Amino acid sequence: MESFLTIKAKKEAELKEQRSEFIAYVSPAETREEAMAFLDSIRKLHPQATHCCWAYRVGAPDEPASYYSDDGEPSGTAGQPILQSLEKEELQNAVLAVVRYFGGIKLGVRGLIDTYRAAAENVLRTTEKIKKQATEEIPFSCPYSFYNTLLYKTEKLEGEIKDASFGEIVEGRVVLPRTNAPQIKAFLEEIRHS
């Protein structure tokens, strides 16, 4: 898979059902750590909420890691419908949380499933989606004499160098569109044999 759909920016939407208030938040997240940091920020924003249920899909588009939590709601009534909403939209590298303030009326299992799904779909309906290129990360180590050429080739191939450290040699990671990765790999192989 060379490209995938994700969301452009954070968004929120509210839904009321039987006096309970459901507030859905969605955000881009490329890693589990980014997703969990976003969820922590939502919990801090709503410390009095009865539940903060969530789901996310992160990682490589052809092998996404998917997780969800019902956060105290009956098993399968919240996190799973939220995750299914992300999957239905074919969204990757996204996290979605639904905060619930209990209004005093129990919704039952079917009511919870339907309401959490509706809250998730509600925020996704208003969220701008974008297509992104699948990327690949390539670790490298090269002599200083080749670093400027590596930098030039990486930029020309729409990539960037991350975490570069300059010791006896230069080490770091090249992150670029997956379709351009073979060219950088070939160049790094040339460096290794020179």
pLDDT in tens, 71-130: 999 999 999 999 999 999 999 999 999 999 998 888 999 999 999 999 999 999 999 998
Q: What is the CATH number of the domain that holds 145?
A: 3.30.70
Residue with tokens 């939590």: 69
The whole-angstrom separation of Cα 55 and Cα 38 is: 11
Q: Single out the residue of 181, 24, 186 nearest to residue 97, CA to CA.
A: 24
Query: 157 and 65, same structural domain?
Result: no
Query: 141 and 127, same structural domain?
Result: no
**40-61 pLDDT, tens digit each:** 999 999 999 999 999 999 987 6
Domain of 175 in residue numbering reads as 134-192
Query: 99 and 141, same structural domain?
Result: no
Query: 176 and 93, same structural domain?
Result: no
What does the block give as tokens for 179? Answer: 């379709």
Q: What is the CATH number of the domain that holds 121?
A: 3.30.230.30
The percentage of the chain sitting over the pLDDT mark of 90, rounded to a whole number, equals 75
Domains identified in the chain, total number: 2
Query: 37 and 24, same structural domain?
Result: yes
Find the length of the chain: 194
Q: Is the confidence at residue 66, as pLDDT, over 90?
A: yes
Query: 139 and 126, same structural domain?
Result: no
In one letter, which amino acid is 101?
Y
